[in-house]
Structure 1
Amino acid sequence: MMQRLTHRLKQSIFGRPPSPARKFSHAGILLDSNDKLEEEKLRGYTPEHFYPVNIGDVFRSRYQVVGKLGYGGHSTVWLCRDLQQHAYVTLKMYEHDSSHGRREKEVYKHLGNVKSSHTGSVLVRRAIDDFQISSADNTYSYQCLVHPPLAMSLCELRNRTIEKVLPEDILKPTLIHILLALDFLHTEAKIVHTDIQENNVMLSVEDESILVDFEEAERSSPSPRKIVGDRVIYSSRDLGIPKVHGRPILSDFGEARFSSSLGKQWEDVQPLVYRAPEVLLRMPWNEKIDIWNIGVLAWDLFEQKHLLYARDSNRNISDSHHLAGMIAIMGAPPKEMLQNSEYAMKFFDHDGNWIGTAEIPSISLEKLEGNLRDTQQSLFLCFMRKMLQWKPENRASAKELLADPWLKSI
């Protein structure tokens, strides 16, 4: 009796004791070691630059790896159990000496110091913990970030629909969430995301059974893997479909910039098809590049094909084709804007006439839009044109877009 009371008293004072680490099988299907798998396919991949995470590993005597969720251009991502807090977390393991890892860590530290009641603050991913880990010989170091887990990305959600696009009744609340997050970032956190794409917007986890099922699947049927020397490369495992989808959360701040650090020099940012005109023309930029980004992303989520391709007929990256597409949907850029860009002289003469190698396509937003009719189409295109403007100062802010009639007509 006294022992039980003592045990309960300890639990009430100190909380539950840490969970023991679980055992995981290493008997998964072995793949051909000569075939490149996952992160090995990345351009410039160097094995030593990626920490050799093994399923079952425990980091900081706290985070036990239960399976691989995926990989990106500079990191691998793992589902873990926090043995101290008895909860699932996500571990993002950056490659050696990653500038993206350092930048993202700085952003999360800054966000942790921003005290805000803004609705959008909860729609931005946060870090629970961060730490560094070294290779066995201390030659390489790796930045690690620990997050609350998230479910599928907008890319996965879109690809699960029959038409491979988000229907209007899902697109609108999705955009509202992203714009709320952006309004918080731009006005209170003073951060420019610069990398808003469908893989960087993920749904929160409202149904934790998908995490439990993920771990149990790994324990009962280990992921396929390949072994190269003493290094194991795992195949990623998908999370299941939740019973309830969570809210969109803006994630991945490896390319984010602080507004205070933006000067008069141009810096190359943004995914290729989402580059704003001022980024493409190699001009200084500000937070309004995120607004342009949202406009093109909204179109790509809703329509059957990209708004802008930025490639020539041989699929080579082409600024000329990218600018020609912009001219087709917005008209010629303002002459005074071109005068501020030396790079623009490759594509326009001194009078602002087009001299680029690409032909300006005979398209318009009205001709390209195929999902809406009459008033709803007009409202949608008006919403798009508030973002798709040559001059950054002519683009609406995130807060202004949240009041748009099309967006509010849910």
Structure 2
Amino acid sequence: MVPSFLRRLSRFSLSWKPLEFSNSSFTRIPASQKIEEETIPDYITSRYYPTRIGEDIERRYQVVGKLGYGATSRSFWVEELQTTCYTCSRRRYVTLKIFITSTSMGQRLDDELRMYKRIEKGSRSHPGHQAMLGTPTIIGKFVDLSSSQSSTKTTSATFSIGASAVVFGVGLFADNIMFGTADDSIFRDFEEAELQTPSPRKELDGRIIYLSRELGIPKALGPPVLCDFGSAIPGDIEHSEYIQPNIYRAPEVILEAPWTYSVDIWNTGCMIWDIFEGESLFTGHDPEFQTYRSRAHLSEMIRLLGPPPPPLLTRGNLRSKFFSAEGMFCFFCFLSCEFCAGIPLLNRVQLEERESTFEGEEKLAFLRMVRRMLQWQPEDRRSAKELEQDKQFIVCIIPFHTLFSRSSSNTPPTILIAAALQHLSMVAHQGEYLGK
């Protein structure tokens, strides 16, 4: 039984006075100029909750500024107005992700909420617009990610992942790796900047659309956090759905063979290559159609890794789409022949020839790490736990602290490189994920 004094104590909470966002010296953007979420295809104003800087959310949180936007949500920086945390000496900072109206989201919103509940504590929801709260994280956007093709800023609420969670977290690419930080100064600076120099905005039909404000770079980073489980699915059974970003798609997915956690290892291997090398290992660019096609992707895999083993092809429902019986035999012997899908195989290229960032022992360690992840057969790939236990993978022969100072014109931002090296270690401790 709970002691009576604790029951009485639980009725009370600490509270803070709301901030005054009364500074009117902000830039007014013409109503005819499209900005932020307005630039998204099929944008409909009424789908978005008309959030205003300074407003309070359920009398508990006050909106301080806008962090980013996407096709299905917007993210805002908010501060607590009250809390039951009696050890807190000052208000806490939180990311608030507000979705568009539930009816326009279809099943996706319900799926994401259900997955967060499965992963952690669950999320509050109410009819209409739904929201998620997350602890402060630093967005991968604050560095110039050369491999990013996104034309819009996106942020996501983040939650720590329970070790017992068994889910496939889709959207596994560099933009979905964020960082924790204990450096509150960047949050206070964000607040002060909004008070002194309010965000530019436009007003249209009684609604306000703000320009997003970026957080500063912290003095110290916490561990990387894998974010965005909008299309995540339970991972305790085999699947056959078509998943993953095109260039990160595992061969078993392309062939429509049963897949499970090992597609995440393939996805992460491709992502790490992109971050280190500054270019994609596979493009899937079809010379005939001038766009991504699975047949071109498979052709690139064969060129780099050699022919796919018979057991993998046997499991693939789409094997006849890409391989004829004669062609399969030729591929096994690696004779000169042509995909039955109508695209020629180019001359074999070794992984060493593609790698241009490292030399000596560093190069050997990096290639060894990538090869352990990029195997045709899913069962031949190292598991996240095995890679985490492999100290050569974690440090890649390179002293970890040098990753933050290494810089060259060919190397993308080193903070994301460090995050990529830590990613599978995080996965091993926090549950397995799959990238879509």
TM-score class, shorter-chain normalisation, is: 0.7 to 0.9
CA contact (8 A) 1:191 1:287 kept: no
Cα distance in structure 2, aligned partners of 1:203 and 1:371: 25
Deviations 1:229-253 (Å, cap 9, x if unpaired)? 1222221111011122222111111
SS in 1 for 2:373: coil
**Residue in structure 2 matched with residue 177 of structure 1 by the alignment:** none
SS in 2 for 1:386: helix
Q: How far 1:377 sits from its partner (Å)?
A: 1.5
SS in 2 for 1:232: strand
SS in 2 for 1:320: helix
Cα distance in structure 1, aligned partners of 2:176 and 2:286: 27
CA contact (8 A) 1:308 1:326 kept: yes
Cα distance in structure 2, aligned partners of 1:318 and 1:273: 10
Please give the root-mean-square deviation of Cα atoms over the aligned residues, in Å: 2.7
> Residues 26 and 258 from structure 1, CA distance in 2 versus in 1: closer, same or farther, beyond 3 angstroms?
farther
**Residue in structure 2 matched with residue 332 of structure 1 by the alignment:** 307
CA contact (8 A) 2:308 2:376 kept: yes
CA contact (8 A) 1:299 1:307 kept: yes
> Residues 320 and 28 from structure 1, CA distance in 2 versus in 1: closer, same or farther, beyond 3 angstroms?
farther
SS in 1 for 2:46: helix
**Residue in structure 2 matched with residue 102 of structure 1 by the alignment:** 110
Cα distance in structure 2, aligned partners of 1:144 and 1:239: 21
1:281 to 255, 258, 263: 255
Q: TM-score, normalised by structure 2?
A: 0.74
Unaligned 5+ residue runs, structure 2?
A: 1-7, 84-90, 148-159, 332-338, 400-436
**Residue in structure 2 matched with residue 349 of structure 1 by the alignment:** 324
Aligned residue identity for 2:65: G
> Residues 43 and 272 from structure 1, CA distance in 2 versus in 1: closer, same or farther, beyond 3 angstroms?
farther
CA contact (8 A) 1:346 1:356 kept: yes
1:29 to 27, 30, 37: 27
**Residue in structure 2 matched with residue 178 of structure 1 by the alignment:** none
**Residue in structure 1 matched with residue 225 of structure 2 by the alignment:** 249
CA contact (8 A) 2:18 2:62 kept: no
> Residues 25 and 317 from structure 1, CA distance in 2 versus in 1: closer, same or farther, beyond 3 angstroms?
farther
**Residue in structure 2 matched with residue 373 of structure 1 by the alignment:** 359
Q: TM-score, normalised by structure 1?
A: 0.79
**Residue in structure 2 matched with residue 149 of structure 1 by the alignment:** 136
Cα distance in structure 2, aligned partners of 1:277 and 1:59: 46
Q: How far 1:315 sits from its partner (Å)?
A: 4.8
Percent identity for Structure 1 against Structure 2? 35
**Residue in structure 1 matched with residue 403 of structure 2 by the alignment:** none
Cα distance in structure 2, aligned partners of 1:84 and 1:388: 49
2:125 to 115, 122, 131: 131
Deviations 1:40-74 (Å, cap 9, x if unpaired)? 22233222222222212211111111111112342
Q: How far 1:359 sits from its partner (Å)?
A: 3.9
Matches within 5 A, 1:114-129: 129=123
Cα distance in structure 2, aligned partners of 1:28 and 1:51: 22
**Residue in structure 2 matched with residue 93 of structure 1 by the alignment:** 98
Structure 1 stretch displaced more, 218-227 or 339-348: 339-348
Cα distance in structure 2, aligned partners of 1:215 and 1:294: 35
Cα distance in structure 2, aligned partners of 1:360 and 1:38: 43
Matches within 5 A, 1:6-405: 14-25=12-23, 28-85=26-83, 86-97=91-102, 98=105, 99-112=107-120, 129-132=123-126, 141-153=128-140, 156-157=142-143, 159=145, 188-260=164-236, 262-263=237-238, 266-313=240-287, 315-351=290-326, 352=328, 353=331, 354-362=339-347, 363-404=349-390, 405=392
Aligned residue identity for 2:64: V
CA contact (8 A) 1:268 1:279 kept: yes
Q: How far 1:76 sits from its partner (Å)?
A: 0.8
SS in 1 for 2:27: coil
Cα distance in structure 2, aligned partners of 1:336 and 1:26: 67
Q: How far 1:369 sits from its partner (Å)?
A: 0.5
Cα distance in structure 2, aligned partners of 1:156 and 1:321: 33
Q: How far 1:100 sits from its partner (Å)?
A: 3.6
CA contact (8 A) 2:266 2:374 kept: yes
**Residue in structure 1 matched with residue 151 of structure 2 by the alignment:** none
> Residues 276 and 375 from structure 1, CA distance in 2 versus in 1: closer, same or farther, beyond 3 angstroms?
same
CA contact (8 A) 2:284 2:294 kept: yes
**Residue in structure 1 matched with residue 427 of structure 2 by the alignment:** none
> Residues 328 and 131 from structure 1, CA distance in 2 versus in 1: closer, same or farther, beyond 3 angstroms?
same
**Residue in structure 2 matched with residue 407 of structure 1 by the alignment:** 394
Q: How far 1:373 sits from its partner (Å)?
A: 1.9
Cα distance in structure 2, aligned partners of 1:315 and 1:83: 54
Q: How far 1:147 sits from its partner (Å)?
A: 0.6
> Residues 106 and 383 from structure 1, CA distance in 2 versus in 1: closer, same or farther, beyond 3 angstroms?
same
Unaligned 5+ residue runs, structure 1?
A: 1-9, 114-126, 135-140, 166-180
Matched positions, count: 355
> Residues 46 and 282 from structure 1, CA distance in 2 versus in 1: closer, same or farther, beyond 3 angstroms?
farther
CA contact (8 A) 1:102 1:143 kept: no
